Amino acid sequence: MKKYLILLLFLILLISCKKEKELVQDNATKNLPINPVVEIKKENISKGNKLFLNGNYEEALKYYEKGVKENKSVAYYNIGVSYFLLGNLAESEKYFKLAIKDDPQFKEAYINLVAVLVNEGKADEAEKYIKIIEKYDDLKTYINLANLYLLKGSTAKSYYYFQKALDKGKDNDFVKSSFGSFLISVNNIDQGIKYLLEIKNKGYDEYFNLAKAFYYKKDYKQSINFIKKAIEIKKTEKALKLLADNYNAINDYILEASILSELIELKNRPEYRYRFSLALFKSGDFSKAKEVINSLINQYPFEGKYYKLKYDILINEQKYVEAKNVLAKAYKRINSSFFKYLYVKHLLLYFNDYKSAEKLIKRAKATNDYDYLAYAVYYAKVKQFDKMISALSKINKKDSEYYFLYSYYFIVKGDYKTALKYIDKMSVYENRYYIYKFVSLWNIADLDGLIRLSKLRIDYLKYNRQKPDISFKIKANVYDIGFLYRYDDNFEDVLRLFLVPLIIDPNESVEFLVLGYKLLQDKENIKAINELKKSANFNEGIYYNNKGVKAYLNFKFYDAIKNFKLAAKLLKNNPIINYNLGLSYLSLGDLKRAYSYFDSALLNNKFILYAYLGKAVIFHLEGKMSRISTQYDLVLNNYDISKDKLEYPQIFKYAKYLAEIGLGKYDEVIFEVANSNHDFLYETFMGKLAQFFKERDKTFDVDKFKNIYNFVCFNDLLNNNLSFTGNRVCDHYKAYKRVKSDDVNFSPNFKKDKYEIAQNTMYFVALNKLKDAFKNLQVLSRKDFRYPRLYEISFYYFLLIRDFINAEASYTTLEKLKHSNLYTQYYRMLYFLLNYNEKRLVKEINKFIKDYPVDYKGLMVDALFSFKNNNLKKILDDLISIKSITPDAEQRWSLEILLNDL
């Protein structure tokens, strides 16, 4: 009986002791894996709890330590909770173990101990307590078990316990936070973010985990936003590190350096100091970066990466002697093959010291990757590429240096697409990454790629400032040659086909001219015209003009000119005859005379609308693109002025249609033709032509339009029927198309006059048949040695073969002949780019861009000049302008960049 009484008293005492332990509800541990402190009615422990609830954990510890005398297990337990919140996990672990030792039944102590061990990454030790705590049915037990299994790599078991926690408290913020973090850790990032965002009162952990999740998603803006909120609550090492990582990811090295500076104040680790120096370097603060890295080298003289960073800084400061000394010191101290390779590379690249480099290489037998790299860079420098490839083939671990050498090899070989595959495996912080990639993208004419690269490189304005060692080469290109006949499917090319000479009808056209003069000229001229009408020569003049028109329409342009000139003698300054002469010379390829006659026609009567169209064609051929639309506007303005006051022949309305098509007003032409009261074939054709330029629909009713002048030629060009017909303009258009398509089997043979010989020479140049081109130049010289086109073509020819003496002679002769156009000015730029003269080149670039603001060639040369001088901002501006002015500029690329050295 006495025995049972003692047992009963023990149970009563045990129950009363359990009731004395009461968990204190607080905000500090609410969303943490540990349970809060315990309250018992003991003086020191109660005082400690009051301080704890106010967040004064260090002061609370003093009372808990006194409370050990009052209740060991509770005091030790509360100390463990306090140390956890202070971030001292080792002490927290120690005191939870003491609490358990004193009270082996202390449930919360077991749960908290497992939480601490998981946080410390001690999975094996935590696992010893699984059987004890897994019998407990509460949220924090399930969360800690889930975290423990996650730490051990058992995702399925972890998920099982998270589900049990959710079943017990799906609306509990701590459960949501823990499960959201779990989902993020198993790469179910979006679902994890969803759980974390549902938490209304987010704390440090929620903000940190959200920041981590968005960092994984590469949404750095959101990540930065959340990590800053986490830091506002608690500035921790891992939070600052994540913020620094974000700034690094967005290439904001200034802010990265700022955060790393704070991180170093918190934890002065060598790795953070190294990153700090690297960020300063990338942001362009070389002086401060050197200061930091020097202190690391002094403290850790055998850490190789510190020397490498200092070397990189000095290279970007272009302090090549100091950089060499750093490598020499690193090689001596560390004696690694890596620094031997860097030393060899440096001697070769910056000092051309082949002897010292070779001596270093042969000091010991090659046994590892960097030894073979040292051989490879030496062979690359001396251009013994077979030996270079042999050395590279022995390398096992392929890094940026390996890809750098292969990139160079393929660039030298002209295989730029393959080079790009290797370049993209190089470090983007290597200066040659940018140089090699720019060269390769330029040489395959990837304008969009160049713009992307240049935008990326703008972030490195103070980084990698070494100028590239390059030269340039011209590739023959139809767009670089001032052809007298060219067909690139532009409107002005087509317009030239459909310009027709004008007949003079005594009963209609004379009246039109007279009324025109009445409208715009003074009385003296009216009298002159009246006198002209009375002249007996008038009808004879009309006869010769109309005879010339007939010859022209039969493609007999010299006969046409002969008759037009006879008519001009009889009808002095007649604007129609002057226009007809201009058109005939345009068809022959004499642009200078053609322009003069068109101008003369308009000087006498500005209502000869076709003369404006003829000038537009010439401006197009001469590259004066900004002046073309003005001619179309003049056609429309003068048509509007006179349409109600002059009785225009119907053909002049077609000039209006053509001008509208030239300005892109396709719908206006289509609408007007569709609603016309007339049933003129040519007017119907104008509507169809507008439709063609709007939609590029090549379907024309051949039978319907075949009698329209030059329609058959136009249709042949559309359908790539390039057989010659005896129509001079048409045949040259077809020849041009064959040359443009690189028809190597085509051997042009046009030689009726100097204009055709000039055009023929241009064909050979464009086809890169330079021997044939030279023979034609000799023929042209014998034909007319004062003909300006002779020297224009020879200027380009001698630039192609890099004969700068004869190129200079050609351009000097052009100056004496006062012959200047877009192409001769372009060739002057090329002359000073190839035969490099920076001062003269800048002058020529500025002049070209001023004179031809909407032509890409000046910008193209300027971009190359800027690249040679490492002017990144100017390169980007030029490339964007080229893309805007000439969307198909890639097809016109004619300059190749050559790497002179590694």
The pLDDT score that the predictor gives to residue 78 is 94
Residue 276 CA: distances (Å) to CA of 26, 220, 261, 262, 319:
39, 20, 7, 10, 22
Supply 220's token pair: 């750095």
The pLDDT score that the predictor gives to residue 463 is 58
The pLDDT score that the predictor gives to residue 673 is 92
pLDDT, one tens digit per residue, over 125-182 is 999 998 898 888 888 898 889 889 888 889 899 899 889 888 888 888 888 888 888 8
**pLDDT over 70 (residue 814):** yes
Looking at the domain assignment, is residue 781 inside a domain?
no
Looking at the domain assignment, is residue 849 inside a domain?
no
Looking at the domain assignment, is residue 94 inside a domain?
yes
Q: How confident is residue 870, by pLDDT bands cut at 50, 70 and 90?
A: confident
Residue 381 CA: distances (Å) to CA of 364, 377, 774:
20, 6, 37
The pLDDT score that the predictor gives to residue 539 is 81
Domain count, the chain: 1
Most confident of 186-190, 597-601, 622-626, 649-653: 597-601
Looking at the domain assignment, is residue 722 inside a domain?
no
Residues in a beta bridge with 896: 473
Supply 206's token pair: 């929620």
The whole-number average pLDDT for the span 353-380 is 92
CATH code assigned at 64: 1.25.40.10
Compute the radius of gyration of the chain from its Cα atoms: 43
> Of 626, 632, 620, whose CA–CA distance to 484 is shortest?
620
The pLDDT score that the predictor gives to residue 507 is 60
Long-range interactions of 80-83: CB distance < 8 A, separation 24+: 80/109, 80/112, 80/113, 80/116, 81/29, 81/34, 81/35, 81/36, 81/37, 81/52, 81/112, 82/37, 82/52, 82/57, 82/58
**pLDDT over 80 (residue 6):** no
Q: Label residue 140 exposed, middle or buried (CB < 10 Å: 0-12, 13-18, 19+).
A: buried
pLDDT over 70 for what percent of the chain? 93
Looking at the domain assignment, is residue 127 inside a domain?
yes
Looking at the domain assignment, is residue 67 inside a domain?
yes
Quickly count: other Cβ atoms within 10 Å of residue 414's Cβ.
11
Residue 890 CA: distances (Å) to CA of 443, 446, 859, 873:
10, 7, 13, 21
pTM of the model: 0.75
**pLDDT over 50 (residue 193):** yes
The pLDDT score that the predictor gives to residue 456 is 84
pLDDT, one tens digit per residue, over 519-536 is 444 445 554 455 545 445
**pLDDT over 80 (residue 343):** yes
More confident: 26 or 12: 26
pLDDT, one tens digit per residue, over 733-744 is 999 999 999 998
Helix (H, G, I), strand (E, B) or coil at 679: coil
Kindly tell me the sign of the dihedral angle through the C-alpha atoms of 748, 751, 756, 762: positive
Exposed e or buried b per residue across 732-741, where buried means at least 16 C-beta atoms within 10 angstroms of its C-beta: bbbbbbbbbe
The pLDDT score that the predictor gives to residue 515 is 44
Ranges 380-384, 462-466, 820-824: which has the least confidence: 462-466
Helix (H, G, I), strand (E, B) or coil at 705: helix
Most confident of 27-36, 449-458, 686-695: 686-695
Looking at the domain assignment, is residue 108 inside a domain?
yes
The pLDDT score that the predictor gives to residue 170 is 80
Q: How confident is residue 2, by pLDDT bands cut at 50, 70 and 90?
A: very low
Helix (H, G, I), strand (E, B) or coil at 473: strand
pLDDT, one tens digit per residue, over 267-308 is 999 999 999 999 999 888 999 999 999 999 999 999 999 999
Residue 303 CA: distances (Å) to CA of 314, 591, 676:
18, 73, 87
**pLDDT over 50 (residue 754):** yes
Helix (H, G, I), strand (E, B) or coil at 471: strand
**pLDDT over 60 (residue 4):** no
The pLDDT score that the predictor gives to residue 460 is 61
Domain that holds residue 117: 31-136
pLDDT, one tens digit per residue, over 39-84 is 998 999 999 999 999 999 999 999 999 999 999 999 999 999 999 9
Quickly count: other Cβ atoms within 10 Å of residue 664's Cβ.
14
> Of 407, 451, 452, whose CA–CA distance to 427 is shortest?
407
Looking at the domain assignment, is residue 48 inside a domain?
yes
The whole-number average pLDDT for the span 793-804 is 96
